[in-house]
């Protein structure tokens, strides 16, 4: 094999390697795009779940505040009743 043949084979190998690299780059971009799309989808799902959780938290907070007001009212009535009975005793 002479130098020109070696040079030609070497150049062919370089060209083949470049083609393979381009193919791999394309596949990597596809995978990157798929991963990005999957990440965006998961992000949207998490955002929706967060909004749902915030809504539930607001409901729980409102219920707790209502319950607290009820307890304050009940305690006030109990206090007034107890005070009235004590006043009657003395």
DSSP secondary structure letter of residue 90: -
What's the confidence (pLDDT) of residue 7? 84
What is the model's pLDDT at position 60? 92
Average pLDDT over residues 6-31: 88
Helix (H) or strand (E) holding 41: helix 3-89
Domain map (residue ranges) of the chain: 22-88
For the stretch 28-68, pLDDT in tens is: 888 888 888 888 999 999 999 999 999 999 999 999 999 99
DSSP state of 37: H
Band (pLDDT 50/70/90 cuts) for residue 19 is: very high
- Residue 2 sits at φ, ψ, to 5 deg, of -90, 180
- Determine which of 5-14, 51-60, 61-70, 72-81 has the lowest per-residue pLDDT on average: 5-14
Statement: residue 24 has pLDDT above 80: yes
């Amino acid at each position: 094999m002479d130098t020109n043949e070696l040079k030609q084979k070497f150049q062919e190998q370089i060209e083949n390697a470049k083609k393979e690299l381009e193919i791999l780059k394309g596949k990597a971009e596809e995978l990157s795009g798929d991963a990005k799309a999957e990440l965006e989808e998961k992000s949207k799902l998490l955002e929706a779940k967060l909004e749902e959780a915030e809504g539930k938290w607001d409901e729980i907070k409102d219920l707790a505040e209502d319950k607290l007001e009820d307890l304050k009212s009940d305690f006030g009535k109990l206090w007034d009743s107890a005070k009235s009975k004590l006043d009657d005793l003395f």
